[in-house]
A = this chain, B = another copy of it.
Amino acid sequence: MADHNALPLVVLTEHFARLPGIGMKTAERLAYYMISRSHEEIDSFADALRAAKKEIRYCSCCQNLTDREICPICDDDRREHDVICVVEGPKDVSAFERTNEYNGVYHVLHGLISPIDGVMPDQLKIRELLARIQKGNVKEVIMATNPTVEGDATAMYIARLLKPMDITVTRLAFGLPVGGILEYADEVTLYKSLHNRSEM
């Protein structure tokens, strides 16, 4: 933003531009939009920012973000607490919850092992996962990290740690996306889809 713009607008624009995926032009548009809103709306946005930062913490069980000691999923007696789905981040929990098909609980790693980015296993919530399993009563751990180098490596790493514990460790199935077109699938996906074929 050039010099001719008012300083408070420039400051607000720069704050928006720091958000992931938002460039200077979009940030400028958002800043202009905000000052066109009412004072009440601005105050409530500012309060929401502060409240979210202040009140959100990790669930002491699954490490997902929550505003309580134990998150609603871990606190839900109707869910199967002996099946743990291990995911990279809170957004993955939202994705599974949207399917309405999973009735187990989760464990959020808050990252993936990636030596290139300097993320080592002890920076993830793996210790908490092991402690949780050591308490007993866990039948299955589903490794639900992304099918990427880091996701696969993290899944492998944790699976190896769990091996001596006599628990079923599974990995999500990879294959053709539903509604996808075979012709456009990449070779690895197609191979996985062929390799993991099931009887009809």
Where the two chains meet, the residues of A that have a C-beta atom closer than 8 Å to any C-beta of B are 1-9, 11-12, 15, 19-21, 26, 28-35, 37, 39, 42-56, 64-68, 71-73, 89-91, 93-94, 97-98
Residues of B within 8 A of A66 (CB): 6
Number of identical protomers: 2
A50 touches B46 (CB 8 A): yes
B15 touches A45 (CB 8 A): yes
Closest to A26 in B: B21
B19 touches A33 (CB 8 A): yes
B32 touches A21 (CB 8 A): no
Residues of B within 8 A of A32 (CB): 65, 89-91
If the complex has contacts A21-B29, A56-B35, are A51 and B90 also in contact, measured as CB distance less than 8 A?
no
